[in-house]
C-alpha cells in the first residue's frame, strides 16, 4: 500500500484530477442540511470514514466497489453503501479507519491498494457525525468477499463508464421521497439501487473525473419502500 504523498502510481493517471483534490483535503460533497436538522454537536460529532476504491488502468476499465447492507440490520437494511464505518480509538487516522472497515466488511487487504488521499469531512447533522471519503486505487479488482453476512449482503463492482455503469444515462434518475427531490439515483444491473448519501458521493466522483453528473431533468424515480428504511 502506498500513501497519498508523492506522485500517482503508474496506471492511475486517469484519476489525477480527483486524486489531487483528495490530497489537498478538498470538499467532495456539499451536503445541505435537511429542513429541521439538528445542529452538529459542539465537538464535531462522531467521525467515520468510507473507502472509494477504484480499480482499473483507465476510465474504460475502471470500476468501484459497493456493498449491499445486510437485510436484517436495524439501520438502513438493504441499502447500498461504500465500505466504511466509525472511527475506533485505536485507529491512527481516517485512512486507517477506512481500510480497517473495508477489511472487516469485504476482506480487502490494504497491501493490495494505493491510497491517493482523503477528502474533507462531510457533516451529517441528522446522524451527529462527520464522514471522510478516502480515495484508493488498484490496477485490477482485488480479491474480495463478504466477511459477515449479517452486516453485508453482497458486494458489487460498478463500472464508471459504458452500458450498465454509473455513467450510463439509461440508469440515472433523480430520486423523490415524500414529494421532495433527494438527489441522484443509480439503478444498476442486478437490482443494485443506489441513492442518498452514497449516490451523492458517486456523482461527485464522476464529475471529478470529467464525466457528467446526473442531470436535473433525468427521469424521476420514487424511492422504493424497501430501500427507505
In-domain check, residue 3: no
Q: Which three cell numbers stand for residue 142?
A: 482485488
In-domain check, residue 52: yes
In-domain check, residue 176: yes
Q: Which three cell numbers stand for residue 83?
A: 465500505
In-domain check, residue 4: no
In-domain check, residue 6: no
DSSP 166: T
Q: How far is CA 77 from CA 71, 74, 227, in A?
A: 5, 6, 8
Beta strands in 114-188 (DSSP E): 114-118, 122-124, 129-138, 152-159, 172-177, 180-188
pLDDT above 80 for 194: yes
Domain of residue 143: give its range.
Answer: 13-227
Q: Are the beta carbons of 134 and 98 closer than 8 angstroms?
A: yes
In-domain check, residue 5: no
Q: Which three cell numbers stand for residue 175?
A: 430520486
Residue 111's pLDDT is 97
**Do strands 152-159 and 63-69 pair parallel, antiparallel, or not at all (unpaired)?**
antiparallel
In-domain check, residue 165: yes
How many structural domains compose the chain?
Answer: 1
17-57 residue pLDDT tens = 999 999 999 999 986 655 656 665 666 668 999 999 999 99
The CATH number of the domain holding residue 116 is 3.90.79.10
Ordered alpha helix ranges (H), the chain: 16-23, 94-106, 196-208
10-20 residue pLDDT tens = 999 999 999 99
Amino acid at each position: 500500500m502506498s500513501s497519498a504523498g508523492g506522485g500517482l502510481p503508474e496506471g492511475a493517471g486517469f484519476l489525477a484530477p480527483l486524486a489531487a483534490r483528495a490530497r489537498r483535503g478538498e470538499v467532495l460533497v456539499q451536503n445541505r442540511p435537511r429542513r429541521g436538522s439538528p445542529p452538529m454537536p459542539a465537538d464535531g460529532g462522531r467521525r467515520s470514514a468510507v473507502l472509494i476504491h477504484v480499480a482499473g488502468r483507465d476510465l474504460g476499465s475502471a470500476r468501484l466497489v459497493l456493498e449491499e447492507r445486510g437485510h436484517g440490520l436495524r439501520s438502513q437494511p438493504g441499502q447500498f453503501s461504500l465500505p466504511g464505518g466509525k472511527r475506533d480509538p485505536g485507529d491512527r487516522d481516517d485512512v486507517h479507519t477506512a481500510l480497517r472497515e473495508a477489511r472487516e466488511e469485504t476482506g480487502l487487504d490494504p497491501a493490495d491498494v494505493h491510497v491517493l488521499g482523503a477528502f474533507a469531512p462531510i457533516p451529517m447533522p441528522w446522524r451527529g457525525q462527520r464522514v471522510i471519503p478516502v480515495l484508493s486505487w488498484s490496477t485490477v479488482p482485488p480479491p474480495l468477499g463478504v466477511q459477515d453476512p449479517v452486516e453485508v449482503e453482497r458486494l458489487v463492482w460498478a463500472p464508471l463508464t459504458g452500458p450498465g455503469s454509473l455513467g450510463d444515462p439509461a440508469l440515472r434518475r433523480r430520486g423523490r421521497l415524500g414529494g421532495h427531490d433527494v438527489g441522484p439515483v443509480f439503478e444498476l444491473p442486478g437490482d443494485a439501487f443506489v441513492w442518498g448519501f452514497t449516490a451523492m458521493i458517486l456523482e461527485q466522483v464522476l464529475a471529478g473525473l470529467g464525466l457528467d453528473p446526473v442531470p436535473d431533468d433525468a427521469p424521476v424515480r420514487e424511492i422504493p419502500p424497501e430501500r427507505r428504511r
